[in-house]
Amino acid sequence: MENNTIDNKKHEQTRKKLKVIGITFLTIGGIFFLVGIISFFIAFNTGGVPKLFWCCFIGIIFIGIGASCAKLGFMKQVGGYVASQTVPIAKDSINYLAKNTKDSLADSAATITNSINSDQIKCNNCGTLNKSTAKYCDNCGKPLTKICPKCNALNDTNATYCDNCGNRL
């Protein structure tokens, strides 16, 4: 426990140093870059050669180092902020999906269960499960299949065309 406290203090000190170094390098890099750009545009205006344009390249290097250090120094605060903003959205999205897909998942599970119990056939009229060999529903007496008049193949009662020959039922 004591080592953890020491590590946290070291991390906090390192973060403070990275923040100071990052902001310092960003400032120095920005100044160098600005001097180089101003020199460039003054040379354009006067028709001469920019004398301090090299400062842009030094400035870019300093800005890169400063941005990297600042990123590492502020990472905890930025990460905490991002998490606090994205976690509620993700939670709401997951809850929305779970709520709105519950019925669909239940229907899918029922369909899978019924297909596993392939020794049963469901009546399209009342929904009762019957033996797969039954020709009429045990509950309502309606036919469970249609017989094709052309080839005598069995089809679902809601079929419009024969599964075997394609004849209109």
Q: Are residues 102 and 149 in the same domain?
A: no
CA 80 to chain centre: 20
Q: Are residues 103 and 20 in the same domain?
A: yes
How do the residues of the chain divide into helix, strand and coil, expressed in percent and rounded to 5?
A: 65, 10, 25
Q: How many domains does the chain have?
A: 2
Model confidence over 51-88: pLDDT tens digits?
A: 999 999 999 999 999 999 999 999 988 888 888 888 88
Percent of the chain surpassing pLDDT 70: 93
pLDDT, the chain, mean = 86
Is residue 65 classed exposed, middle or buried when 0-12, 13-18 and 19+ CB atoms within 10 A define those classes?
middle
Q: Are residues 10 and 75 in the same domain?
A: yes
Q: Where are the beta strands (DSSP E) in 64-135?
A: 120-122, 129-131
For residue 169, what pLDDT is reported? 86
Model confidence over 24-58: pLDDT tens digits?
A: 999 999 999 999 999 999 998 888 888 999 999 99
- Examine residue 91 and state whether it is found in any structural domain, yes or no: yes
CA 46 to chain centre: 55
Q: Are residues 99 and 151 in the same domain?
A: no
- Examine residue 45 and state whether it is found in any structural domain, yes or no: yes
Model confidence over 95-128: pLDDT tens digits?
A: 887 777 777 777 777 777 766 656 778 888 898 8
Cα-Cα-Cα-Cα torsion 134, 138, 142, 148, nearest 10 degrees, comes to 0
How far apart (Å, rounded) are the C-alpha atoms in residues 27 and 69? 13
How far apart (Å, rounded) are the C-alpha atoms in residues 109 and 118? 14
How far apart (Å, rounded) are the C-alpha atoms in residues 43 and 37? 10
Q: Are residues 111 and 144 in the same domain?
A: no
End-to-end Cα distance, the chain: 80
Q: Are residues 160 and 134 in the same domain?
A: yes
pTM score of the predicted model: 0.48
For residue 2, what pLDDT is reported? 56
Q: Where are the beta strands (DSSP E) in the chain?
A: 120-122, 129-131, 145-147, 154-156
Q: Are residues 68 and 143 in the same domain?
A: no
- Examine residue 122 and state whether it is found in any structural domain, yes or no: no
Q: Are residues 54 and 133 in the same domain?
A: no
Considering only residues 157 and 12, tell me which one the structure prediction assigns the higher pLDDT. 12
Backbone angles phi, psi at 161, to 5 degrees: -125, 155
For residue 136, what pLDDT is reported? 87
Task: Supply 117's token pair.
Answer: 């119990």
**3-state class of 130 per DSSP?**
strand
Q: Are residues 59 and 22 in the same domain?
A: yes
- Examine residue 74 and state whether it is found in any structural domain, yes or no: yes
Q: Are residues 68 and 88 in the same domain?
A: yes
For residue 154, what pLDDT is reported? 84
- Examine residue 105 and state whether it is found in any structural domain, yes or no: yes
Q: Which domain holds residue 165?
A: 127-169
- Examine residue 121 and state whether it is found in any structural domain, yes or no: no
